[in-house]
Amino acid sequence: MTLERPLIANEGDTRTPETPRTTSVLTVAVPVFNERETLLEIVRQVRGATLPAGVEREIILVDDGSTDGTTELLRSDVESRFADVRVLYHAQNRGKGAGIISAVAAAQGDFLVVQDADLEYDPNEFPLLLAPMLTGKADVVYGSRFLGKIAGMKGANLLANRLLTGATNLLFPGARITDEATCYKMFRLSVLRSFPLKAQRFDFCPEVTAKVLKRGYRIHEVPITYRARTEAQGKKIRWTDGVDALWTLLKYRFTD
């Protein structure tokens, strides 16, 4: 579907329509599915992360039909406590991509970054991704785990990531990226709204990568840290998602 920028003002924004905004706003999109154990900690980290001067934050959590008590925790301990956090709810599980699409539709910021709720990525590294944006050097920035520090990633996952990134560089000559599957993807919101987003699940990542590259945007990468969690800790991605990702890259190389 095609996403259009909402015309409503930011909640709590006292500016009149004629008053120019002197700050930039970073929308932090947090798709959530069955993350009761880490939910409050990731909210604390995102709210507390230091941002560059002149940058404000907008936090949007999207509960994707959780069944482990996450929904109730969002209502009782997040919505009721934090006025700066917006929560959207899906009636049933639709997938990570669907959660991100909902956040993009609701976002009112200038930039948007995807933040997983599982504590694998550190919100204190937002300034690293923002720096090329704020200087006008980039419209799309990926945080590369392979340029930074990785802890706990299994060999099979490492190989799958390498293969997926290699396929990206092969299908899109000139891409020269090192980490296609990173969660830390930051965009100017206008870029995300310039093409339709269709992927509902983990195939969001290869879809958005293919579409920004196909439209001539260069993906700027910065090094980040990454601490992998295990399946026992709730990691949800499976080998079949890797197959879907490869197919998605191939599909959007030749179609829209």
pLDDT tens for each residue of the chain, 256 residues long: 333 333 333 444 444 444 455 689 999 999 999 999 999 999 999 999 999 999 999 999 999 999 999 999 999 999 989 999 999 999 999 999 999 999 999 999 999 999 999 999 999 999 999 999 999 999 999 999 999 988 878 888 888 899 999 999 999 999 999 999 999 999 999 999 999 999 988 899 999 999 999 999 999 999 999 999 665 544 556 657 778 889 999 999 988 7
What domains lie within the chain, and their CATH numbers?
A: 24-254 (3.90.550.10)
**Residue in the structure block whose two tokens are 């399946």:** 231
What pLDDT, on the 0 to 100 scale, is given for residue 129? 99
What pLDDT, on the 0 to 100 scale, is given for residue 11? 41
Please give the structure tokens belonging to residue 209.
């990568």
- Cβ proximity of 160 and 236 under 8 Å: no
What pLDDT, on the 0 to 100 scale, is given for residue 13? 47
pTM recorded for the entire structure? 0.86
